[in-house]
Amino acid sequence: MAPEPVVGIGWRHAHYEALLAQRPALGFIEVHAENFFAEGGVTLALLEAGREAYALSLHGVGLALGSAAGLDARHLARLARLVERTQPRWVSDHACFARTGTGLHAADLLPIPFTDESLALMCRHVDEVQQRLSRPMLVENISAYVGWAGDTLAEPEFFNELTRRSGCGLLLDVNNLFVNARNAGRDAAAAMAEAMRWVEAIRPGSVGEIHVAGHCERDDGLVIDDHGSRVCDEVWRVYAHAIQRFGPTPTLVEWDTDVPALDVLLAEAAQARALQR
pLDDT tens digits along 90-112:
999 999 988 665 565 555 789 99
Confidence of residue 121 (pLDDT cuts 50, 70, 90): very high
Residue 70 pLDDT exceeds 90: yes
Per the domain annotation, does 1 fall within a domain? no
Cβ-proximal residues to 168 (8 Å cutoff; 6+ apart), any chain: 126, 130, 136, 137, 138, 139, 162
Radius of gyration, CA atoms only, the chain: 18
Cβ-proximal residues to 159 (8 Å cutoff; 6+ apart), any chain: 95, 139, 141, 170, 202, 206
d(CA 32, CA 13): 11
Per the domain annotation, does 149 fall within a domain? yes
Per the domain annotation, does 78 fall within a domain? yes
Q: What is residue 38's DSSP assignment? A: S
Per the domain annotation, does 82 fall within a domain? yes
Per the domain annotation, does 184 fall within a domain? yes
Cβ-proximal residues to 247 (8 Å cutoff; 6+ apart), any chain: none
Per the domain annotation, does 208 fall within a domain? yes
Residue 227 pLDDT:
97
Q: How many CA atoms lie within 13 A of 180 on its CB side?
A: 17
Report the domain count for the chain: 1
- Cβ burial, residue 3 (10 Å; 0-12/13-18/19+): exposed
Residue 181 pLDDT exceeds 90: yes
Residue 3 pLDDT exceeds 80: no
- What DSSP letter does each residue of 153-220 carry, written as one string? S-HHHHHHHHHHHH--EEEEEHHHHHHHHHHTT--HHHHHHHHHHHHHHSPTT-EEEEEE---EE-TT
Cβ-proximal residues to 273 (8 Å cutoff; 6+ apart), any chain: 5, 7
User: What residues make up the domain containing 160?
Assistant: 7-276
Query: What is the rounded average pLDDT of the residues 77-101?
Result: 92
d(CA 84, CA 232): 37
Residue 39 pLDDT:
87
Amino acid at residue number 179: V
pLDDT tens digits along 17-51:
999 999 999 999 999 999 999 988 899 999 999 99
Give the sign of the dihedral formed by CA 274, CA 31, CA 109, CA 159: negative
Per the domain annotation, does 2 fall within a domain? no
Residue 104 pLDDT:
54
Domain with residue 234: its CATH number is 3.20.20.150
Confidence of residue 73 (pLDDT cuts 50, 70, 90): very high
d(CA 70, CA 31): 24
Strands (E), the chain: 7-10, 28-32, 56-59, 90-94, 97-99, 105-110, 138-140, 169-173, 207-212, 216-217, 223-224, 251-253
